[in-house]
């Protein structure tokens, strides 16, 4: 094999490596920012504001970034996102007040948007349709690995440092970790340059968001993605409460959540084999429905082994739904609008992270914490039903 061919192949592993490091940074730093907020005198309201701003900024800029990527600027967007995955972490470490910390939080959220859109868009720009689901599976496998190692890594550094500087030291450590994305970004550059499209030329082929949303299958795909992400967030937030009510230790709950993440890693390892046996939409609606039933049953049982089975099944299904929806929306749009539809999907994810947990948490006041899992599971089952209908009927 020639050196040029080897370099051409190396860029995709570099992209997966970039994803692992970046996701480890986002997952670890977001928790550290919460502790930093409390150190600077922030209240529960301020914590909520930090969380909302992290998701709201990408919500408003997602489509604009997608249009830039569709014009051939994916690698430029990836570089800017890489910088905004490093500098805000250092800014959080030195933030003298909550206002500066809020800027750091918003910048990190923007960095995640930029790297995610660019990374996802490079796949349909580089591989044929027959390989997209497997490649998206590899990319989201990187997401799962990064999320798995990020929080423990940040926590261990914080725990190893005593005194008032523990969180600051952990933020500096995560800054150094995030800087490794620069090396991975250089490897991605081996892919070569994508030809740029002028603004006028891009405008000719660009479709409005409403036109893209009207594409048959677009709304079910986005809904499936939103339901999955909301379920993951709600499960992470409320399983500790369910565990406390059932007398489960913190260690047990942590291991249960780890089982869910590891199951997602396993499913993404084998997604290529699964999609070779079953149609993508059949696999998607089955995974959504099975995950929904598993999530609904979580507050019903208190035995750790039963909860472990439920979380493992749900995690395996979660690992399939995200890459399958990425592949679905990518196939719906023409090349001039593929990054745009991926951005709309990401915007839907961010909206779900703000709206669904807020609504579910309000209902816990009158219905108890179990209602959160009922809502999350019902949305997943509904998403499975909508996908099944899309596969079997012509709308």
**Whether residue 213 sits in one domain with residue 72:** no
Q: Is residue 221 part of a domain?
A: yes
Mean of pLDDT values over 317-337: 80
User: Higher confidence at residue 3 or residue 56?
Assistant: 56
Residue 241 reports pLDDT greater than 90: no
**What is the pLDDT at residue 186?**
93
Q: Is residue 200 part of a domain?
A: no
pLDDT band (50, 70, 90) for residue 167: confident
User: Higher confidence at residue 175 or residue 74?
Assistant: 175
Residue 225 reports pLDDT greater than 90: no
**Whether residue 265 sits in one domain with residue 129:** no
Which helix (H) or strand (E) segment is 249 a member of? none
d(CA 67, CA 13): 25
Q: Is residue 35 part of a domain?
A: yes
d(CA 240, CA 250): 7
**Whether residue 269 sits in one domain with residue 360:** yes
**What is the pLDDT at residue 93?**
92
**What is the pLDDT at residue 258?**
79
Residue 202 reports pLDDT greater than 60: no
Across 32-36, 191-195, 330-334, the highest mean pLDDT is recorded for 32-36
Residue 97 reports pLDDT greater than 80: yes
Residue 41: C-alpha distances to residues 37, 164, 169, 237 (Å): 7, 14, 19, 23
The predicted model scores a pTM of: 0.74
Q: Of the candidates 15, 196, 26, which has an alpha carbon nearest to the alpha carbon of residue 120?
A: 15
**Whether residue 72 sits in one domain with residue 29:** yes
Q: What b/e sequence results for 146-176 when a residue is b if at least 16 CB atoms lie within 10 Å of its CB, and e otherwise? A: bbbbbbebbeebbeeeeeeebbbebbbbbbe
**What is the pLDDT at residue 80?**
94
- Cβ count near 108 (within 10 Å): 26
Radius of gyration of the CA atoms of the chain, in A: 21
CATH number at residue 62: 1.20.1250.20
**Whether residue 186 sits in one domain with residue 288:** no
d(CA 40, CA 33): 10
**What is the pLDDT at residue 370?**
75
**What is the pLDDT at residue 4?**
41
d(CA 57, CA 353): 13
Q: Is residue 276 part of a domain?
A: yes
The H helix count followed by the E strand count for the chain is 17, 0
Which position has the token pair 């209240």?
43
Q: Any idea which of 37-41, 91-95, 290-294, 335-339 has the lowest mean pLDDT?
A: 335-339
* Maximal CA-CA distance, the chain: 66
Q: Is residue 5 part of a domain?
A: no
Q: Is residue 199 part of a domain?
A: no
Contacts of 360-365 spanning 24+ positions with Cβ under 8 A:
360/234
Mean of pLDDT values over 316-331: 85
Q: Is residue 1 part of a domain?
A: no
pLDDT band (50, 70, 90) for residue 2: very low
The number of domains in the chain is 2
d(CA 87, CA 132): 32
Q: What is the span of the domain harbouring residue 28?
A: 10-192
**What is the pLDDT at residue 341?**
76
251-274 pLDDT, tens digit each? 677 688 878 888 988 888 888 888
**Whether residue 145 sits in one domain with residue 255:** no
**Whether residue 310 sits in one domain with residue 185:** no
Q: Is residue 3 part of a domain?
A: no
Boundary (domain end) residue, out of 158, 192, 226: 192
98-139 pLDDT, tens digit each? 999 999 989 998 999 899 888 988 888 888 877 887 888 888
**Whether residue 387 sits in one domain with residue 352:** yes
pLDDT band (50, 70, 90) for residue 6: very low
Mean of pLDDT values over 286-296: 94
pLDDT band (50, 70, 90) for residue 237: low
Contacts of 362 (CB under 8 A, 6+ apart): none
**Whether residue 308 sits in one domain with residue 177:** no
CA dihedral (309, 312, 316, 322) in degrees, to 10, reads 120
8 A C-beta contact, residue 15 and residue 143 = no
**What is the pLDDT at residue 206?**
57
**Whether residue 220 sits in one domain with residue 163:** no
26-70 pLDDT, tens digit each? 888 887 887 888 888 876 667 667 776 777 777 778 778 877 887
**What is the pLDDT at residue 390?**
81
Boundary (domain end) residue, out of 162, 192, 222: 192
**What is the pLDDT at residue 343?**
76
Boundary (domain end) residue, out of 192, 218, 239: 192
d(CA 181, CA 22): 7
d(CA 220, CA 95): 42
**Whether residue 68 sits in one domain with residue 132:** yes
Mean pLDDT of all residues belonging to the chain: 81
**Whether residue 223 sits in one domain with residue 174:** no
């Amino acid at each position: 094999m020639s050196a040029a061919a080897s370099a051409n192949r190396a860029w995709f592993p570099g992209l997966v490596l970039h994803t692992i490091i970046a996701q480890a940074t986002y997952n670890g730093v977001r928790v550290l920012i919460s502790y930093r907020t409390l150190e600077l005198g922030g209240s529960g309201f301020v914590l909520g504001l930090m969380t909302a701003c992290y998701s709201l900024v990408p919500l408003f800029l997602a489509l604009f970034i997608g249009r830039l990527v569709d014009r051939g600027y994916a690698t430029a967007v990836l570089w800017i996102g890489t910088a905004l995955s490093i500098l805000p972490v250092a800014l959080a470490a030195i933030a003298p007040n909550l206002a500066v910390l809020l800027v750091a939080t918003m910048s990190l959220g923007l960095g995640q948007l930029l790297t995610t859109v660019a990374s996802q868009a490079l796949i349909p720009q580089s591989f044929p349709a027959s390989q997209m689901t497997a490649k998206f599976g590899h990319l989201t496998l990187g997401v799962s690995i990064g999320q798995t190692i990020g929080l423990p890594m940040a926590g261990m550094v914080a725990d190893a440092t005593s005194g008032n500087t523990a969180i600051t030291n952990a933020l500096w450590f995560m800054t150094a970790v995030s800087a490794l994305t620069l090396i991975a970004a250089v490897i991605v550059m081996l892919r070569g340059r994508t030809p740029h499209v002028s603004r006028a030329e891009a405008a000719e082929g660009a479709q409005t968001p409403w036109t893209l949303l009207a594409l048959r299958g677009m709304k079910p795909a986005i809904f499936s993605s939103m339901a999955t992400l909301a379920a993951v967030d709600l499960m992470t937030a409320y399983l500790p409460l369910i565990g406390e009510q059932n007398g489960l230790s913190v260690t047990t709950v942590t291991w249960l959540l780890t089982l869910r993440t590891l199951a997602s890693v396993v499913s993404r390892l084998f997604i290529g084999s699964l999609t070779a046996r079953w149609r993508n939409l059949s696999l998607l609606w089955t995974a959504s429905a099975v995950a929904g039933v598993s999530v609904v049953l979580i507050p019903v049982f208190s035995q750790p082994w039963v909860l472990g089975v439920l979380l493992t099944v749900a995690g395996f299904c979660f690992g399939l739904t995200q890459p399958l929806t990425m592949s679905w929306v990518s196939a719906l749009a023409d090349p001039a609008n593929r990054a745009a539809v991926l951005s709309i999907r990401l915007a839907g994810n961010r909206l779900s992270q703000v709206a669904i947990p807020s609504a579910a948490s309000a209902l816990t006041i009158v219905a108890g914490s179990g209602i959160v899992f009922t809502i999350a599971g019902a949305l997943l089952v509904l998403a499975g039903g909508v996908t099944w209908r899309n596969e079997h009927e012509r709308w």
